[in-house]
Amino acid sequence: MIRPSKARKVMDWKTLMSEERYTANTYVRRSVARQIVSDFQLDAEKIIYTSVFRRLQGKTQVYPFPAYDYLRTRLTHTNEVAFVGKILGRGIGRRLSASERGNIDPEDISDVVYAACLAHDLGNPPFGHIGEEAIKTWFLREKTKPGSPFNSTLSDAHTMYDFLHFDGNAQGFRIMTRLSSWREEGGMRLTYAVAGAFSKYPFPSETSSPDKQKFGYMADDSDAARKIFTALGMNNADGTYSRHPLAFLVEAADDISYLTTDVDDAHRVKQLKFDDSQALLLKIVDMGNYADEYNAYKCNNEQDKISFLRSLASATLIEGAATAFLDNRSTILSGRFKEPLIKVSKFAGAATEIRTACEERVYLEKNKIQLEAAGFNVIIGLLDLFGTMIEDYIAKKGSVKDMNHKSRNLYSLMPEENRKRMVATDPYKCMVVLVDYVSGMTDRFALDLFQRLSGHSPALGKMA
């Protein structure tokens, strides 16, 4: 849910669809290929060809280290979200174009949502949401550890929740604006429109609620957020920011994808029976008047039938999200709309049933929980190792040669681009670097590195 504000202004589409690119400097060259590829399409290319995007193939969606190749990874999920977002954006764009007298290009709306969807999970740490919980747990422990150089930062209301409420959305914003491609010179240098549409939670950690613990950018990235959101006209008189209208479509695409595909995957691994999976999806399909199409599908293969149902349910939910957006576009543009589109659609009840079924019978499956527990310990272990190294780095005032032998070795293992951003006199900067490094790992890399460093690797005696 978006943080409420009493002082809102009405946003306008021309400003919201800004093609200007974010950069830490004041100038950036515009695309020379504008006649062939639009600026928003170029954003999608920028994202797809980064290593951080490719690493999503090694990150958990629902099942850590899936035993079956056909189960979805974070990359599979992202591609599916982007497809849904593109279709949803095009449909909304066409209807908005008709009402806005040609001031909106439907393809631009579609391309912006598509690119933002491609980026929506870039900040997820290893092992999915359990990785987020591990990072938060580690820093909560550090907050109460006597003598920790991180105590002051973890007691400062302006910075403490960057870590105690660590969130992949904020990490994704950081990746887009300073960690990838041009790094400190603007990150991926995406257009303002795409960066805005990506930003599901346009507020800092210090205003995140204790129950939701969600936020959109760290204190270290507040200048980037202010520059982007102000340029898009998302800023309000009271200093808060409204959510970019297209961020609701990105959120809906994500919701639609996981609601339907989690049932598909759960049936495939026999965590949900055919009759249960069919009932969950068919309720949505029936409400969308597509039941006849499903009944006409002559197939005896249960998995194929569930896959076909998933497709129909997805199409139905896309229509529902589009209707919800158009019905609420005035309050969306004024920044007063606060709920996910699916939640205010007529499919809200059916979506809740799917979430409940997955929470009770899929997300709590024994093998999945065991793997998540292992993943939690891996993240804690890596933070212990590299966190201790950083403590030594701070204590020795950045003099690597004066650090102990173990710390020097760990320091050398950290990528150079991370080491260069550590500032011994600034524990906050060092903590951000620690999170950047660990959260950027894939599941397999994190596990392998932890096993090697802790002496538990099966390949310990065979290392090249």
Model confidence over 11-70: pLDDT tens digits?
999 999 999 999 866 555 555 555 688 999 999 999 999 999 999 999 988 888 877 778
Claim to verify: residue 443 and residue 356 sit in the same structural domain:
no
Question: Which pair of tokens denotes residue 302?
Answer: 């249960």
The mean pLDDT value for 164-184 works out to 94
**Alpha helices by DSSP H, 144-209:** 161-164, 168-174, 192-198
What CA–CA distance (Å, rounded) separates 263 from 362? 9
The mean pLDDT value for 157-186 works out to 94
How many Cα atoms are found within 13 Å in the side-chain-facing hemisphere of 220? 26
Residue 409 lies in domain: 126-165+369-455
Residues in the chain, how many?
Answer: 464
* Domain containing residue 280: CATH number: 1.10.3410.10
* Domain containing residue 233: CATH number: 1.10.3210.10
Q: How confident is the model over 238-269, as pLDDT tens digits?
A: 999 999 999 999 999 999 999 999 999 999 98
Angstrom distances, CA of residue 177 to CA of 76, 192, 221, 385, 453:
24, 11, 8, 28, 31
In a domain, 7, yes or no: no
Query: How many distinct structural domains can be found in the chain?
Result: 3
Domain end residue (candidates: 361, 379, 407) = 361
- C-beta of residue 128 within 8 angstroms of C-beta of residue 370: no
The mean pLDDT value for 349-368 works out to 91
In a domain, 1, yes or no: no
Claim to verify: residue 106 and residue 207 sit in the same structural domain:
yes
pLDDT, averaged across the chain: 92
In a domain, 398, yes or no: yes
In a domain, 76, yes or no: yes
Q: How confident is the model over 117-149, as pLDDT tens digits?
A: 999 999 999 999 999 999 999 999 999 888 888
**pLDDT for 5 beyond 50:** no
Claim to verify: residue 73 and residue 147 sit in the same structural domain:
no
Beta carbons within 8 Å of 403's beta carbon, 6+ residues apart = 389, 392, 393, 396, 411
**pLDDT for 462 beyond 60:** yes
Burial 212-224 (b: 16+ CB within 10 A, else e): ebbbbbbbbbeeb
Q: What is the DSSP string of 207-231?
A: G--TTT---SB-GGGHHHHHHHHHH
In a domain, 383, yes or no: yes
Beta carbons within 8 Å of 154's beta carbon, 6+ residues apart = 139, 142, 143, 148, 160, 163, 164
Claim to verify: residue 47 and residue 111 sit in the same structural domain:
yes
**pLDDT for 464 beyond 70:** no
Beta carbons within 8 Å of 191's beta carbon, 6+ residues apart = 18, 19, 20, 21, 22, 39, 40, 43, 112
pLDDT recorded at residue 9: 78
Question: Which pair of tokens denotes residue 84?
Answer: 């849904």
What CA–CA distance (Å, rounded) separates 368 from 373? 9
- C-beta of residue 435 within 8 angstroms of C-beta of residue 163: yes
Q: How confident is the model over 288-344, as pLDDT tens digits?
A: 999 999 999 989 999 999 999 999 999 999 999 999 999 999 999 999 999 999 999
In a domain, 292, yes or no: yes
Claim to verify: residue 19 and residue 95 sit in the same structural domain:
yes
Claim to verify: residue 151 and residue 182 sit in the same structural domain:
no
pLDDT recorded at residue 28: 54
Claim to verify: residue 230 and residue 111 sit in the same structural domain:
yes
In a domain, 3, yes or no: no
Sorting pLDDT into bands at 50, 70 and 90, what band is 423?
Answer: very high
% of the chain surpassing 90 pLDDT: 79
Claim to verify: residue 219 and residue 349 sit in the same structural domain:
no
Claim to verify: residue 69 and residue 85 sit in the same structural domain:
yes
- pTM of the shown model: 0.94
Q: How confident is the model over 365-407, as pLDDT tens digits?
A: 888 899 999 999 999 999 999 999 999 999 999 999 999 999 9
* Domain containing residue 156: CATH number: 1.10.3550.10
Domain end residue (candidates: 216, 246, 276) = 246
Computed from CA positions of residues 361, 367, 370, 376, in that sequence, does the dihedral angle turn out positive or negative? negative
Domain end residue (candidates: 304, 336, 361) = 361
Claim to verify: residue 63 and residue 119 sit in the same structural domain:
yes
Q: Which of 298, 297, 343 is nearest to 317 (CA)?
A: 343
Q: Which of 301, 268, 310 is nearest to 83 (CA)?
A: 310
Sorting pLDDT into bands at 50, 70 and 90, what band is 1?
Answer: very low
What CA–CA distance (Å, rounded) separates 323 from 160? 40
pLDDT recorded at residue 147: 85
Claim to verify: residue 234 and residue 111 sit in the same structural domain:
yes
Q: How confident is the model over 182-196, as pLDDT tens digits?
A: 888 899 999 999 999
Computed from CA positions of residues 409, 447, 121, 210, in that sequence, does the dihedral angle turn out positive or negative? negative
Claim to verify: residue 268 and residue 294 sit in the same structural domain:
yes
pLDDT recorded at residue 200: 97
- C-beta of residue 412 within 8 angstroms of C-beta of residue 401: no
Question: Which pair of tokens denotes residue 127?
Answer: 């092992």
In a domain, 463, yes or no: no
